[in-house]
Amino acid sequence: MAPLPLSLTLDLIARAHPDPVADDATALHLLSDAELLPGLEGAIADKPGPAGEIWVFAYGSLMWKPEFAFREQRLGTVRGFHRRFCLLQRRFRGTPERPGFVLALDRGGVCKGVAFRLDGDDPVATLMPVWRREMKGNGYEARWLAVDTASGPVHALAFVVNRLGDRYAGRLTEAEIAEKIAAACGHLGPSAEYLLRTAEACAALGIRDRHLVALQALVAERLRGCGAVRPVADAVAERRPG
């Protein structure tokens, strides 16, 4: 089945967000590696499955920017959780005044994504890059989840939303989420770019996600209605994605 065409484009995003945004280090406290290490070691100690085999389940930016070496990747399905823009982003792709959203796994449903088998013999050294990236902002909980793949089930480390954290937005409507995504931009670029790149990654993998398709259309509609829109040559594409 051919992927649905996307209404949201980099050009549309760049026209709405032409100017860079300065980083505000006070907008989000980031945990140090020393603070992260006990949690990582505990997760490794609780790992199910064969010793020496580490899988990570990607459902958002890890699909298009994994930033870790891997031996194998498989399309897979997690049951009991779904992909949703429910985690506020007050830094990186948003500001405290105009927070954006990033994806998390939230309760219920199913989620199709990519299971990566990581490459490395030292579990701590192998997992620290992805653990640092996902856990330093205190928005996620790490869990080992069963992932069904065409080659058999695996247990993969997945990052589930921390429902008790102050970044969890709860069950907002897609229209409310789209309003925030359309308006938000941080020093890594607009929140809408994160949405677009994830929607593109899912389309390329043959993953049909109604939430992403609906949101990209709603965000595109809002960006087209922005005032003072002026053309900018691939300003968003030049920003570092993340």
pLDDT in tens, 63-110: 999 988 899 999 999 999 999 999 999 999 999 999 999 999 999 999
* Domain boundaries of the chain, sorted by first residue: 10-224
Q: Which CATH superfamily is domain 10-224 in?
A: Gamma-glutamyl cyclotransferase-like (3.10.490.10)
The contacts of residue 58 (CB under 8 Å, 6+ apart) are: 66, 113, 114, 115, 116
The answer to whether 174 is a known catalytic residue is no
Q: Please tell me the predicted confidence (pLDDT) of residue 4.
A: 66
Q: Please tell me the predicted confidence (pLDDT) of residue 2.
A: 55
Please pick, among 53, 134, 176, 200, the residue that the annotation labels catalytic. 134
Instruction: List b or e across 58-72, with b for residues whose CB sees 16 or more CB atoms inside 10 angstroms.
Output: bbbbbbbbbebebee
Q: What is the mean pLDDT of residues 180-203?
A: 97
Q: What is the value of pTM for the model shown?
A: 0.90
Query: What's the CA gap between 95 and 185, in Å, rounded?
Result: 7
Q: What is the mean pLDDT of residues 170-193?
A: 97
